Structure formats: structure tokens, C-alpha cells
Chains A and B, each alone.
Chain A
């Protein structure tokens, strides 16, 4: 079975702090892509960052970076210098390269940035 587990249902930090969201996944496949999507109160799903499983280098997008540990099947998201606009649900997801082209999502982490 292909599953994604986000063990932190809710997190809360102060503005400008750094926060790390956890994600583990399970697949027997070797080639896949990993994603973090953000869903603010508007409910829009917004791509935050993407990581190719064959790449050892961790992806970075401005204040967002990932810690990808393939052997441990772990894919955490670090948000640096957090901003009020980062308040949202964050979903970890992956897609298998060979097979049905579906994103498999975790249950999400609700992140609140406090002023």
C-alpha cells in the first residue's frame, strides 16, 4: 500500500520562528516525486516545493526547504522566518513515476503562525 503519514495534526509558532513539519511515506517503488502543498483558508491548493526521489540534494524554494531521507522514507518541510501568510494546512504527497498518475496525500498538518 502507498501511504503518507503526517504525525502532527496541528502546530503553532510565533512569527519569524523556524518550524519543521514531519512527513513519512510508504511505497515499494524506487522512483517517485515528493511534494508539499499548502492549503490556506481560501481552500486553494498551492504547490510549495517538489523533490525528485533520485536527487540527493534537498530542494529549496526561498524560505522553504526539505530534508529528504530516502532510506528512512522521510520528507520534512522546514519553513524559515515564518510569516503570518504561512498559516495554512500543509499536505505532504507523492506520486509514483511508473503507474497511475495520482498524488497520494497525507492527512495534513494545520500550521498557525502567531503575531
Chain B
């Protein structure tokens, strides 16, 4: 158990819908990262937040957005869902400094299925 929690575990929805994935980092970690794991694209970095502020952005679609709240939990919002958005979405967190040198610990993931 990494200490990172993600809810829900599974999510099944229809095209065009909007969903919210939630992540709670390890106790004391200020940085949260979101990754998408799909069959065709592999594991890809989406976005990072550090202490409430967006720190880095990767291959995140405009239909996707994220935020980190004062209690440090983070939410990833996916809207206008398409079949290709079906994937495993991971949240990871890293230690206080939020530096690239900090090891990222991953949550169990949320499996999103878009029908």
C-alpha cells in the first residue's frame, strides 16, 4: 500500500458524459501527478499540481482539467467523454519539496470505461 488513495476504483459511463476522479496523496506530500495508461498510448503524464498550484502540464486534452484543493487532495475532471478516453488513470504523489528527484508513489488507479 503506497498511501495514495484513489476513488472510485471503477467507473463506467457513456460518451459525452463528464466524470470526476479523486485522489488523496500520501500524508505530508504536497505534489500530485496524474497519469493515463491506455493500451495504445502506454503510460502518459497528464498534469502535476504542487501545493495547490499547477506545476507542469503534459499531454492533457482540453476536455480534461484538474485541481488541487487546500487539503491537498486532487480531482481530475474529464468531460465530453469519448471511447478513446477509456483507460486506467493513476494519481501519484511525492514528498514535500515536489522536486523531480522525489520518488513518485502511485495510487491503485481508477479504471474508466466509456461505452
Residues on A with C-beta less than 8 A from B108 are 42-44
CB pair B88–A43 under 8 Å, yes or no, is yes
Choose among B55, B90, B101, B111 the residue that contacts A45 (Cβ–Cβ < 8 A). B90
A103 touches B103 (CB 8 A): no
- Tell yes or no: B11 within 8 A of A by CB: no
B9, closest chain A residue (CB): A43
B100 & A95 in contact (Cβ 8 Å cutoff): yes
Residues of the B chain whose Cβ atoms lie less than 8 Å from the Cβ of A96: 100
> What sequence of 0s and 1s flags, for each residue 80-113 of chain B, a beta carbon within 8 Å of any chain A beta carbon?
0000000010101010001111011110110100
A96, A101, A103, A106 pick with most chain B CB within 10 angstroms: A101
- Which interface class (under 10, 10 to 19, 20 to 34, 35 or more) fits A? 20 to 34
**With an 8 A cutoff between CB atoms, is A55 at the interface?**
no
Contact bitstring A40-62, B, C-beta under 8 A = 1, else 0 = 00111111001010000000000
If A47-B105, A50-B103, A96-B100 touch, does A101 touch B48 (CB 8 Å cutoff)? yes
List, in ascending order, chain B residues with CB within 8 A of A35's CB.
Answer: 103
6 further A-B contacts with Cβ under 8 Å, apart from A43-B108, A45-B92, A47-B103, are: A33-B101, A44-B108, A99-B100, A100-B48, A101-B33, A105-B44
* Cross-chain pairs A/B with CB under 8 angstroms, 22 sampled: A43-B109, A43-B111, A44-B2, A44-B109, A45-B90, A45-B109, A47-B104, A47-B105, A95-B101, A99-B100, A100-B48, A100-B58, A101-B33, A102-B33, A102-B56, A103-B35, A103-B43, A103-B92, A105-B43, A106-B42, A107-B42, A108-B42
Q: Which residues of A contact B (CB under 8 A)?
A: 33, 35, 37, 42-47, 50, 52, 91, 93, 95-108
